[in-house]
Amino acid sequence: MDINIEEIQTLLDRAAEAREFSYSPYSDYMVGAALLARNGEIITGCNVENAAYGPSNCAERTAFFTAVGKGLRDLRAIAIAGGKRNGERDFAYPCGVCRQVMAEFCNPDSFYIIVGKSREDYRVHTLKELLPESFGAANLKM
Protein backbone atom coordinates (compact mmCIF):
# COMPACT_ATOMS: atom_id res chain seq x y z
CA MET A 1 0.00 0.00 0.00
CA ASP A 2 1.35 3.38 -1.03
CA ILE A 3 0.03 5.25 2.02
CA ASN A 4 1.24 5.04 5.60
CA ILE A 5 -0.63 5.15 8.91
CA GLU A 6 0.48 8.72 9.69
CA GLU A 7 -0.94 9.94 6.38
CA ILE A 8 -4.14 7.99 6.97
CA GLN A 9 -4.61 9.44 10.45
CA THR A 10 -3.86 12.98 9.25
CA LEU A 11 -6.42 12.62 6.48
CA LEU A 12 -9.02 11.25 8.90
CA ASP A 13 -8.39 14.17 11.25
CA ARG A 14 -8.72 16.70 8.44
CA ALA A 15 -11.91 15.02 7.16
CA ALA A 16 -13.40 15.20 10.67
CA GLU A 17 -12.51 18.91 10.82
CA ALA A 18 -14.10 19.55 7.41
CA ARG A 19 -17.23 17.71 8.56
CA GLU A 20 -17.86 20.51 11.05
CA PHE A 21 -18.52 22.90 8.11
CA SER A 22 -21.25 20.64 6.67
CA TYR A 23 -24.44 22.34 5.62
CA SER A 24 -26.92 19.50 6.13
CA PRO A 25 -30.18 20.87 7.58
CA TYR A 26 -32.36 18.29 5.76
CA SER A 27 -30.62 14.99 6.40
CA ASP A 28 -28.59 15.95 9.48
CA TYR A 29 -25.93 13.65 7.98
CA MET A 30 -22.66 15.59 8.15
CA VAL A 31 -19.77 14.57 5.88
CA GLY A 32 -16.24 15.86 5.55
CA ALA A 33 -13.56 14.74 3.12
CA ALA A 34 -9.81 15.25 2.92
CA LEU A 35 -8.12 14.63 -0.42
CA LEU A 36 -4.37 14.03 -0.60
CA ALA A 37 -2.48 15.22 -3.68
CA ARG A 38 0.82 13.65 -4.72
CA ASN A 39 2.60 16.93 -3.82
CA GLY A 40 1.44 16.51 -0.19
CA GLU A 41 -1.27 19.16 -0.28
CA ILE A 42 -4.54 18.26 1.44
CA ILE A 43 -7.77 19.67 0.04
CA THR A 44 -10.91 19.43 2.15
CA GLY A 45 -14.61 19.57 1.41
CA CYS A 46 -17.94 19.14 3.15
CA ASN A 47 -21.41 18.21 1.99
CA VAL A 48 -23.70 21.08 1.05
CA GLU A 49 -27.42 20.33 0.90
CA ASN A 50 -30.15 22.25 -0.87
CA ALA A 51 -33.92 22.28 -0.31
CA ALA A 52 -34.37 21.19 -3.95
CA TYR A 53 -32.03 18.19 -3.29
CA GLY A 54 -30.64 18.02 -6.85
CA PRO A 55 -28.27 20.97 -6.38
CA SER A 56 -26.76 19.35 -3.28
CA ASN A 57 -23.10 18.36 -3.39
CA CYS A 58 -21.21 15.63 -1.56
CA ALA A 59 -18.09 16.33 0.48
CA GLU A 60 -15.97 14.15 -1.81
CA ARG A 61 -16.94 16.05 -4.95
CA THR A 62 -16.47 19.37 -3.17
CA ALA A 63 -12.87 18.33 -2.41
CA PHE A 64 -12.26 16.98 -5.93
CA PHE A 65 -13.67 20.02 -7.71
CA THR A 66 -11.61 22.33 -5.46
CA ALA A 67 -8.46 20.33 -6.24
CA VAL A 68 -9.11 20.39 -9.98
CA GLY A 69 -9.83 24.13 -9.79
CA LYS A 70 -6.39 24.57 -8.21
CA GLY A 71 -4.73 22.59 -10.99
CA LEU A 72 -4.15 19.49 -8.87
CA ARG A 73 -4.75 16.27 -10.79
CA ASP A 74 -2.21 13.83 -9.33
CA LEU A 75 -4.25 12.55 -6.39
CA ARG A 76 -3.36 9.71 -4.03
CA ALA A 77 -6.11 9.21 -1.46
CA ILE A 78 -9.26 10.55 0.15
CA ALA A 79 -10.54 10.12 3.70
CA ILE A 80 -14.23 10.49 4.50
CA ALA A 81 -15.78 11.20 7.91
CA GLY A 82 -19.55 11.08 8.16
CA GLY A 83 -22.47 10.47 10.42
CA LYS A 84 -25.55 11.99 11.98
CA ARG A 85 -25.04 15.41 13.60
CA ASN A 86 -25.44 14.21 17.20
CA GLY A 87 -24.45 10.60 16.70
CA GLU A 88 -21.45 8.38 16.36
CA ARG A 89 -19.57 8.56 13.07
CA ASP A 90 -20.23 5.87 10.46
CA PHE A 91 -18.13 4.21 7.82
CA ALA A 92 -19.35 6.76 5.26
CA TYR A 93 -18.67 5.32 1.82
CA PRO A 94 -18.79 7.57 -1.25
CA CYS A 95 -21.91 7.47 -3.39
CA GLY A 96 -21.81 6.20 -6.97
CA VAL A 97 -21.59 9.69 -8.45
CA CYS A 98 -18.57 10.50 -6.29
CA ARG A 99 -16.91 7.21 -7.24
CA GLN A 100 -17.41 8.08 -10.91
CA VAL A 101 -15.82 11.51 -10.38
CA MET A 102 -12.87 9.81 -8.69
CA ALA A 103 -12.52 7.49 -11.69
CA GLU A 104 -12.23 10.52 -13.98
CA PHE A 105 -9.12 11.78 -12.19
CA CYS A 106 -7.51 8.79 -10.46
CA ASN A 107 -5.93 5.46 -11.23
CA PRO A 108 -8.42 2.96 -9.78
CA ASP A 109 -5.62 0.53 -8.85
CA SER A 110 -3.63 3.02 -6.77
CA PHE A 111 -6.12 5.59 -5.46
CA TYR A 112 -7.12 4.90 -1.85
CA ILE A 113 -10.48 5.58 -0.24
CA ILE A 114 -10.35 5.66 3.55
CA VAL A 115 -13.55 5.58 5.57
CA GLY A 116 -13.32 5.90 9.30
CA LYS A 117 -15.26 6.17 12.49
CA SER A 118 -12.08 7.47 14.12
CA ARG A 119 -8.33 7.61 13.52
CA GLU A 120 -8.07 4.09 14.98
CA ASP A 121 -11.20 2.53 13.47
CA TYR A 122 -11.00 2.82 9.69
CA ARG A 123 -11.03 0.86 6.44
CA VAL A 124 -8.88 1.38 3.36
CA HIS A 125 -9.99 0.39 -0.15
CA THR A 126 -8.77 1.05 -3.64
CA LEU A 127 -11.14 2.80 -6.00
CA LYS A 128 -11.12 -0.36 -8.13
CA GLU A 129 -12.51 -2.35 -5.19
CA LEU A 130 -15.38 0.11 -4.76
CA LEU A 131 -16.03 0.74 -8.46
CA PRO A 132 -15.28 -2.47 -10.38
CA GLU A 133 -15.71 -2.48 -14.15
CA SER A 134 -16.02 1.30 -14.18
CA PHE A 135 -16.77 3.42 -17.22
CA GLY A 136 -14.07 5.94 -18.13
CA ALA A 137 -12.26 7.79 -20.88
CA ALA A 138 -10.81 4.54 -22.27
CA ASN A 139 -14.37 3.39 -23.07
CA LEU A 140 -14.81 6.37 -25.37
CA LYS A 141 -11.71 5.67 -27.49
CA MET A 142 -12.24 3.98 -30.82
pLDDT at 7: 97
pLDDT at 87: 85
Q: Quick count: other Cβ atoms within 10 Å of Cβ 120? A: 8
CB 62, CB 48: distance < 8 Å: yes
Which residues pair with residue 43 across a beta bridge? 35
pLDDT at 142: 63
pLDDT under 70: residue ranges of the chain: 142
pLDDT at 112: 98
Enter the pTM of the model. 0.95
List the catalytic residues. 60
pLDDT at 1: 80
3-state secondary structure 38-78: CCCCEEEEECECCCCCCCCECHHHHHHHHHHHCCCCCEEEE
Residues in the chain: 142
